């Protein structure tokens, strides 16, 4: 939230313009680099935009990405939104078609063109086809998935075996419910389906 003007209201050297709002990140990057050395990969994850009033906008995020590149990051993972943005949150619901996957794609393309380090794209990627397309079209250098692995931890092994069907994740976000209750994150939908199958058999 330091980078977002919607939350960072500081009036000292850590607030104000994008250079100041990224100061803490640069200091952390520098400290990590000094601790781990030049050969250890250091990534940073950031929003392309907050999608809220007075939040981080795309122009500022591009400047921030350049700043993080110059500060010594080896890669940037681009996400977007915050929980309160609902359907524009980082974990958008209803991702049931290829067209709805990779919903930060356009932002990623602009960011990749602006930086000289690797770009990682996250956001609703669930199919082998879309994942491959992102790499082949050089939208990003790598892809990142979260909910797809909550549903199927062995998804990559399945794809490597030749079974390229999309992840079984339904993007219903029920996996977060037990996490909010201190019970960890797991696929509630899969658990429900397995119980139904047991009753049927």
More confident residue, 54 or 96: 54
CA distance 176 to 29: 30
The residues, any chain, with a CB within 8 Å of residue 109's CB and separated by 6 or more, are 139
In the structure, what pLDDT confidence band is assigned to residue 92 with cuts at 50, 70 and 90?
confident
Q: What pLDDT is attached to residue 58?
A: 94
Is the pLDDT at 201 greater than 70, yes or no?
no
Q: How many angstroms from the chain centroid is the CA of residue 63?
A: 18
Is the pLDDT at 97 greater than 90, yes or no?
no
DSSP three-state, residue 128: helix
In order of their start, the domains of the chain are: 18-200 (3.20.20.70)
Lowest mean pLDDT among 10-24, 105-119, 184-198: 184-198
Could you tell me what percent of the chain has a pLDDT over 70? 98
Q: What pLDDT is attached to residue 200?
A: 65
Q: What pLDDT is attached to residue 149?
A: 97
CA distance 185 to 177: 8
Contact 26, 67 (CB under 8 A): yes
CA distance 187 to 41: 31
Contact 49, 80 (CB under 8 A): yes
pLDDT digits (tens, 9 = 90+) for 3-42: 999 999 999 999 999 999 999 999 999 999 999 999 999 9
Torsion sign across C-alpha atoms 161, 163, 166, 169:
negative
pLDDT digits (tens, 9 = 90+) for 145-162: 999 999 999 999 999 999
DSSP three-state, residue 9: coil
The residues, any chain, with a CB within 8 Å of residue 135's CB and separated by 6 or more, are 141, 142, 143
Contact 126, 162 (CB under 8 A): no
CA distance 37 to 49: 31
In the structure, what pLDDT confidence band is assigned to residue 82 with cuts at 50, 70 and 90?
confident
**What are the φ/ψ torsions at residue 131 (nearest 5 degrees)?**
-60, -45
Segment 48-56 shows an average pLDDT of 92
Q: State the DSSP string of 19-48.
A: HHHTHHHHHHHHHHHHHH-TTS--EEEEES
């Amino acid at each position: 939230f330091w980078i977002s003007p919607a939350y960072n209201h500081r009036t000292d050297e850590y607030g104000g313009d994008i250079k100041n709002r990224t100061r803490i990140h640069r200091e952390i990057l520098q400290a990590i680099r000094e601790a781990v050395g030049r050969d250890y990969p250091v990534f940073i994850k950031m929003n392309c935009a907050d999608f809220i009033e007075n939040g981080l906008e795309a122009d500022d995020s591009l400047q921030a990405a350049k700043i993080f590149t110059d500060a010594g990051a080896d890669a940037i993972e681009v996400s977007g939104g915050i929980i309160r943005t609902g359907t524009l949150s980082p974990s958008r619901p209803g991702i049931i078609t290829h067209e709805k996957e990779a919903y930060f794609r356009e932002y990623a393309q602009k960011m990749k063109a602006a930086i000289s380090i690797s770009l990682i794209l996250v956001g609703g990627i669930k199919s082998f086809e879309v994942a491959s397309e992102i790499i082949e079209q050089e939208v990003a250098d790598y892809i990142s998935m979260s909910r797809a692995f909550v549903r199927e931890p062995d998804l990559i092994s399945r794809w490597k075996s030749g079974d390229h069907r999309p992840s079984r994740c339904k993007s219903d976000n029920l996996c977060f419910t037990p996490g909010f209750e201190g019970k960890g994150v797991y696929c509630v939908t899969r658990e429900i389906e397995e119980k139904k199958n047991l009753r049927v058999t």
